[in-house]
């Protein structure tokens, strides 16, 4: 049975208003609290019979844990002029080019964006999503051909708990992989394409993944230690 959103609240933690999404899950046995991606707030999961007041009291009792978790999160990097944003791991500084009529483009370590200043964050986001779609789709199709499997669809999302998924021939990826080093993006694509043949993470799956990308250990380690940084952009 699917989870159902119950309410949206805010918590005051160390003088900061933190968004709180309350979700009820009929199979949950205990209340649980999870910090979402950088700046996205908290998710409180409640069993079916737990009251909203009980859930809020539980969340408030975890204020010290929340404070520590928030302090450990990477600082947000907005898409504004002067911000440094990696594209396939290579740093680019965002610059505004109001005189131009080129949309968004990369040139010598600069990510240029034309148009009105108030539209710049959206334009940069759309550009990065487009680059992610182009890179990921081309790599996924190539790797699928190598193992004689067919991809039914490639979808890009703003995932917060995983970098990719595979089911029934459909692949989904986080668009934020375009911000990661190229080897990391390539590994995630290889990982999900390998699931077209093996859904479990057994020895044959890992052997196939290693055939489809140059490195497995390095990108896996990078995602575990650096992956949260990708969620702080935008």
Tokens standing for residue 110: 């600069």
pLDDT at residue 28, as a whole number = 85
Instruction: Give the tens place of pLDDT for each residue, 209-219.
Output: 999 999 999 99
Average pLDDT across the chain, whole number? 91
Length of the chain: 234
Higher pLDDT, 68 or 128: 128
Q: What backbone torsions phi and psi does residue 89 show, to the nearest 5 degrees?
A: 85, -10
Position 11 scores a pLDDT of 86
Q: Report residue 39's pLDDT band, with 50, 70 and 90 as the boundaries.
A: low
For residue 14, the model assigns a pLDDT of 79
Per-residue pLDDT tens for 96-141?
999 998 999 999 999 999 999 999 999 999 999 999 999 999 999 9
pLDDT at 216: 98
Measure the N-to-C terminal CA separation of the chain; round to a whole number of Å: 33
Q: Does 1 score more than 80 pLDDT?
A: no
Reference 123, options 109, 103, 107; nearest CA is 103
Per-residue confidence band for 40, with pLDDT thresholds at 50, 70 and 90: low
Long-range contacts from 136-140, C-beta under 8 angstroms, 24+ separation: 136/173, 136/177, 136/178, 136/185, 136/189, 139/185, 139/186, 139/189, 140/171, 140/189, 140/192, 140/193
Tens digits of residue pLDDT in 159-206 = 877 899 999 999 999 999 999 999 999 999 999 999 999 999 999 999
Relative to beta strand 164-167, strand 84-87 is unpaired
List pLDDT tens digits, range 142-162. 999 999 999 999 999 998 778
pTM: 0.77
Q: Is the pLDDT of residue 4 over 50?
A: no
Q: What is the pLDDT of residue 2?
A: 39
């Amino acid at each position: 049975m699917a989870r159902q959103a119950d309410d949206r609240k805010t918590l005051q933690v160390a003088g900061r208003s933190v968004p709180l999404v309350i979700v009820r899950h009929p199979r949950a046995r205990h209340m649980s609290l999870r910090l979402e991606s950088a700046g996205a707030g908290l998710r409180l999961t409640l069993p079916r019979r737990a009251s909203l007041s009980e859930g809020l009291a539980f969340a408030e009792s975890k204020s010290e844990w929340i404070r520590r978790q928030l302090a450990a999160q990477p600082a947000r990097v907005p898409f504004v002029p002067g911000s440094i944003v990696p594209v396939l791991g290579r740093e680019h500084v965002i610059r505004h080019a109001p005189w131009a009529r080129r949309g968004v483009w990369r040139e010598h370590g600069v990510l240029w964006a034309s148009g009105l200043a108030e539209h710049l964050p959206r334009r940069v986001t759309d550009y990065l999503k487009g680059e992610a779609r182009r890179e990921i789709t081309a790599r996924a199709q190539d790797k699928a051909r190598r193992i004689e499997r067919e991809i039914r669809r490639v979808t890009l999302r703003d995932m917060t708990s995983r970098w990719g998924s595979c089911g029934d021939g459909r692949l989904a990826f986080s668009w934020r992989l375009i911000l990661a080093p190229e080897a990391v993006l390539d590994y995630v694509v290889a990982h999900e394409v390998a699931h077209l043949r093996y859904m479990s993470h057994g020895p044959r799956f890992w052997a196939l993944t290693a055939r489809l990308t140059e490195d497995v250990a390095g990108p896996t380690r990078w995602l575990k230690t650096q992956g949260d940084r990708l969620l702080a952009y935008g």
